[in-house]
Amino acid sequence: MWRGQFWRSDRQLELAETKVESLPSVCAVIPARNEAELLPITLKSLLRQDYPGTFSVILVDDRSTDNTANIAQQVAQDLSNYQLQVIEAETLPTGWSGKLWAVKQGILHAQKVTPPPDYFLLTDADIEHDEKNLYKLVTKAEQDKLDLVSLMVLLRCQSFWEQFLIPAFVFFFQKLYPFRWVNDPNNTTAAAAGGCILIAREALNRIGGIDAIRGALIDDCALAQAVKSGKETVKHPIWLGMTSTTRSLRPYPSLSSIWDMVARTAFTQLNYSPLLLLGTLLGMIITYIVPVAGVIFGIWMGKWVIAIAGLSAWLLMSRAYLPTLRLYGCSPLWAFCLPGVALLYTLMTLDSAIRHWQGRGGGWKGRVYPL
C-alpha cells in the first residue's frame, strides 16, 4: 500500500537487545582503486570494529597509481593490527567490471583459510564504519536468519550541490526499491546498497559466487536479486535499511560529479528500454514538474482551482521529502526545491540514455565498460 511508505526512512539497523551466543567468522573484502586519500580514515574504522568474533580484512588493490597498497599496510601497522591482508588484482578479463573482479579475487583468497569465513562483508574503500556496525549487521543476519543484510550508508552532504541533490538521490532510490518490500520475503522486490553488504558464504555459493553478476554495473541490486530469487518453495530473505552512523566519505563537490555518478547507470536501471525511459520521463514530469507549472499557470491566468491543486501536490511531495532531509540534517526548506531537483534527475536519466546510444556509458575510475 502506498508503495511501501518509502518516504518514511524508518528502516534503521539498531543494536539488538539480545546477544548472539556464538558469533560467526567474517571476512571484509574491499576493492580499492586509487583510494590512498581516504584509507587512513575508512580502513582504520574497519580495523577498529568492536566485534568479538573472528574478523579479517582483505584489501584488493585494483591497479592503483597512488600508493594505495602501501598506505593500507601503513594504517594497519600504525594500529598494530594483523587482521589486514593486501593483495594485488590480476589483469581485468573481458566481461567483468573492475570492482567485481577485485571482489572475486578477495573472496577466493579468503576461502583458502580453513575453515572459510561464515560471512563476507563487501564494503567500499570510502566507507567510514561505526565501531559497532559489523556487530549489528551480524546479529541482524543471525537472529532473523537472513542471507544478506545491507545498509544505505549516509552519503556525504556538505557542499551546496550535495545538499541540493544527495538526499533526493536516497529519496528516489527508496521510491524505486521500497525498503519494506525489499525486506518482505513474499515480495519479489530486491535491492542492496553496495557500500555495505553482509552476505552469508552459503548464500554466495548457492548463486554461483560473484561470477553470477560479473558484468553488472548496478552490482549491489543485481547481487540482492540473485540472492532473494530462487526456488519458489524456499525463501531467501534479505534486509536493506538506513544508518546515521556509518557514512561514505566520497565527495561530490560539483553538479558534474553528481551528474556523472547518476548518468553512469540510470539507463542501465531501466534495462536500456526506450519505453521504460519514456515512461520514467513522463512520470517524473507529471509527478514533480506539472504541479509547479500548475501553480504558475493558475496564478498567471487567474485559474485558482488549478493553482490550489498544483500547490497542494507541491506541498504533499515536500512533506514526503522531509524524513530524508531530517536523516541528512538538512534544512526543511530544501523540501520545496524537490521539483527542481527532480528536473535535474530527469535530465540526468535522459543523458544516461544518450551516452549509452553513443557508446560512452558505464565510465568509472578511468574505465569505460561496453554496454
Q: Are residues 113 and 214 in the same domain?
A: yes
| pLDDT of 300 strictly over 60 | yes
Confidence tier at 113 by pLDDT (50, 70, 90) = confident
Q: What is the mean pLDDT of the chain?
A: 92
Q: Is residue 259 part of a domain?
A: no
Residues 292, 324: one domain?
yes
Residues 223-238, mean pLDDT to the nearest whole number: 85
Say yes or no: 238 and 292 in one domain.
no
Q: What pLDDT is attached to residue 366? A: 56
Which own/partner contact pairs does 112-115 have at CB distance under 8 Å and 24+ positions apart?
113/27, 113/56, 115/25
CATH code of the domain in which 45 resides: 3.90.550.10
* Residue 212, domain member (yes or no): yes
Specify the range with the lowest mean pLDDT, choosing from 12-21, 129-138, 295-304.
12-21
Residues 138 and 284 in one domain: no
pTM of the model: 0.92
Q: Are residues 56 and 203 in the same domain?
A: yes
Q: Which domain holds residue 312?
A: 266-368
- Over range 173-189, report the average pLDDT: 94
The string over 94-110, giving b where at least 16 C-beta atoms fall within 10 Å of a residue's C-beta and e elsewhere, is eebbbbbbbbbbbbeeb
272 and 359 belong to one structural domain:
yes
For residues 270 and 230, membership in a common domain is answered with no
How many whole angstroms separate alpha carbon 65 and alpha carbon 57?
Answer: 21
Residues 221 and 242 in one domain: yes
The total of structural domains in the chain comes to 2
